[in-house]
């Protein structure tokens, strides 16, 4: 999908420890960018949690309740220099880095809630990074908050995800304490990809992927995946600004991306959105062709038979079918079949149904898939 007036979901990795990155609209639309959580960016570098005496905090208010502590300690200097919060409130200290250096002048905020397509909701508490990238958000009401950072040179926001999902990680702010969230290393989105051109078509089954060399980049990582089938490259390291695909690609639509890393292995830049290209004219395709019923066919609810063309590398298929109504149970939940057809034994009630089929090889790897097809049952 291309960047447009809608948010763009970009799956960075299908395996391992990475989450999802959402390209975004400008800030007025209140849409956020999700930063990969572990281990590449936005990962606090704090040591094991301990308490730090209140004497390390400055400007403590006279009320006895303001016993400022730092939980946990951090390498970020903002925490040690943070003032004690007002009685009953908490402070949040941290540092924002780009390419190992403090990112100055960026707004940082704690959000009571962050919605994928709505941005910050509820209470917000803000601060701005100093020349060293350090910040202290003062007098935050106790509770759980997500951390958002304004992107560099882009009118958009970044937030830290929780685990492998796309939900925001929550930080707990306690009364009369200073919460250190450590360092957040962010990346820019100004890397320029050159070829194949976005949405282009090629008959070359070993195309060259190329991009502009990025200043201060030590190496790059490539991501390349087909619309259906096994990912070609995931975190493929390249030391130059181009890569010729080693193994022949099938007829298929491909998505690719590249990220730049510094000599410390920290991501410093990537493209704002994925590029896509179509490979044509190859002996094997990543698509399964549906034979019958045709898309949007109107049928009675009995005697329905689903069929599709055989795929040359398929050992078996999986069929998925559901009624297009909220809360309706699946009719076929990736049912495995050896043949190229399947007869539905049950009578289907009137309504709209949706189905698709996927091909798998002898090793259990998906090699091809169909589009979504609709059936109208009278």
User: Tell me: the pLDDT tens digits for 38-65?
Assistant: 222 233 333 333 232 222 332 323 322 2
> Can you tell me the mean pLDDT for 248-273?
95
User: Distances from the Cα of 18 to the Cαs of 13, 200, 204, 222, in angstroms?
Assistant: 6, 28, 31, 14
Query: By residue range, what is the domain housing residue 214?
Result: 193-279
* Candidate from 72-86, 202-216, 232-246 with smallest mean pLDDT: 72-86
226 and 333 fall within a common domain: no
Residue 179 placed within a domain: yes
The reply to whether 100 and 120 lie within a common domain is yes
Distance CA 127, CA 72 (A): 20
Mean local confidence (pLDDT), 141-160: 89
Q: Are residues 306 and 372 in the same domain?
A: yes
Residue 178 lies in a domain: yes
Q: Select from 152, 185, 218 the last residue of a domain.
A: 185
Whether residue 69 has a cis bond before it, omega within 30° of 0: no
* In the block, residue with structure tokens 């002996």: 283
**Contacts with 240 (C-beta within 8 Å, 6 or more apart), sequence order:** none
Question: What pLDDT sits at residue 218?
Answer: 98
Judge whether 284 lies within some domain.
no
252 lies in the same domain as 137: no
Question: Measuring CA to CA, which residue among 75, 47, 27 is closest to residue 185?
Answer: 75
Residues 328 and 274 in one domain: no
What pLDDT score was predicted for residue 206?
98
Are 247 and 296 found together in one domain? no
CA–CA dist 367, 287 (Å, integer): 8
The answer to whether residues 203 and 84 belong to one domain is: no
- Among residues 132, 162, 185, the one where a domain terminates is 185
- Report d(CA 226, CA 99) in Å as an integer: 31
Do 111 and 198 touch, CB atoms closer than 8 A? no
User: What's the domain count of the chain?
Assistant: 3
For 293-342, what is each residue's pLDDT tens digit?
999 999 999 999 999 999 999 999 999 999 998 888 899 999 999 999 99
pTM of the predicted model as reported, rounded to 2 decimal places = 0.75
Residues 129-157 have a mean pLDDT of 92
Query: Do the beta carbons of residue 334 and residue 320 sit within 8 Å?
Result: yes
User: Which comes out higher in pLDDT, residue 70 or 250?
Assistant: 250
Name the pLDDT band for 160 (thresholds 50, 70, 90): confident
User: At 234, which CATH number?
Assistant: 2.60.40.10
**pLDDT at 17 > cutoff 70:** no
- DSSP letter string, 85-119: PPTT-EEEEEEEEETTEE-TT-EEEEEEEEETTTE
Looking at the structure, tell me whether residues 46 and 143 fall in a common domain. Answer: yes
Residues 126 and 232 in one domain: no
Position 161 pLDDT exceeds 90: no
Per-residue pLDDT, 344: 94
Q: pLDDT over 90 for what percent of the chain?
A: 67
Q: Is residue 2 part of a domain?
A: no
Measured CA to CA, the distance from residue 292 to residue 375 in angstroms comes to 10
pLDDT band at 165 (very low <50, low <70, confident <90, very high): low
Predicted local distance difference test score (pLDDT) of residue 168: 85
Q: State the DSSP H helix or E strand holding residue 77, giving kind and residue range, or none if neither.
A: helix 77-80
DSSP state of 266: -
- Shortest CA distance to 24 belongs to which of 45, 41, 10? 10
105-119, 194-208, 213-227, 230-244: least confidently modelled range: 105-119
Cα 73 to chain centroid, rounded = 29
Instruction: Calculate the average pLDDT of the chain.
Output: 81
Question: For residue 285, is it within any domain?
Answer: no
Instruction: For residues 114 and 237, state if they share a domain.
Output: no
- Domain boundary among the residues 220, 255, 279 is at 279
Residue 153 reports pLDDT greater than 90: no
Whether residues 110 and 134 share a domain: the answer is yes
Is residue 363 one of the residues assigned to a domain? yes
CATH number at residue 37: 2.60.40.1120
> Residues 12, 76: one domain?
yes
Higher pLDDT, 326 or 88: 88
Picking from 209, 239, 236, 242, the residue whose alpha carbon sits closest to that of residue 223 is 236
- C-alpha–C-alpha distance, residues 178 and 66, integer Å: 10
Q: Does residue 1 fall inside a structural domain?
A: no
């Amino acid at each position: 999908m291309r960047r447009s007036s809608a948010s763009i979901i970009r799956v960075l990795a299908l395996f391992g420890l990475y989450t999802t990155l959402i390209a975004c609209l400008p800030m007025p639309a209140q849409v956020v960018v999700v930063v990969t959580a572990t281990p590449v960016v936005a990962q606090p570098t704090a040591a094991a949690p301990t308490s730090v005496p209140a004497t390390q905090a400055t400007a403590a208010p006279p009320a006895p309740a303001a016993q400022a502590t730092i939980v946990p300690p951090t390498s970020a200097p903002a925490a040690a220099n943070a003032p004690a919060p007002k009685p009953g409130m908490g402070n949040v200290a941290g540092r924002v880095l780009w390419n190992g250096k403090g990112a100055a002048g960026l707004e940082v905020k704690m959000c009571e809630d962050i919605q994928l397509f709505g941005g910050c909701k509820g209470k917000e508490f803000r601060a701005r990074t100093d020349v060293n990238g350090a910040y202290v958000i003062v007098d935050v009401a106790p509770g759980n908050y997500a951390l958002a950072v304004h992107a560099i040179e882009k009118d958009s926001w970044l937030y830290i995800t929780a685990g492998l999902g796309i939900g925001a990680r929550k930080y707990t702010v306690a009364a009369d304490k200073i919460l250190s969230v450590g360092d957040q290393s962010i990346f820019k989105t100004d890397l320029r990809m050159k070829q194949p051109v976005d949405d282009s078509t090629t008959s070359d089954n070993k195309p060259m992927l190329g991009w502009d060399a990025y200043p201060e980049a030590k190496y790059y990582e490539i991501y390349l995946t087909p619309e259906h089938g096994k990912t070609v490259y995931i975190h493929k390291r390249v030391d130059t600004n181009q890569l010729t695909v080693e193994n022949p690609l099938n007829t298929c639509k491909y998505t690719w991306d590249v990220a730049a890393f510094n000599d410390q292995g920290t991501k410093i830049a990537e493209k704002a959105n994925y590029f896509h290209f179509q490979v044509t004219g190859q002996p094997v395709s990543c698509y399964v062709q549906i034979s019958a019923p045709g898309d949007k066919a109107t049928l009675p609810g009995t005697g329905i038979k689903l069929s599709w063309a055989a795929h040359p590398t398929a050992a078996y298929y999986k069929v998925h079918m559901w009624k297009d109504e909220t809360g309706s149970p699946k009719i076929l939940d990736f049912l495995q079949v050896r043949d190229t057809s399947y007869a539905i034994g049950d009578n289907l009630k009137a309504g709209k149904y949706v189905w698709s089929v996927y091909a798998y090889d002898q090793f259990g790897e998906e090699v091809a898939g169909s589009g979504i097809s609709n059936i109208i049952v009278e």
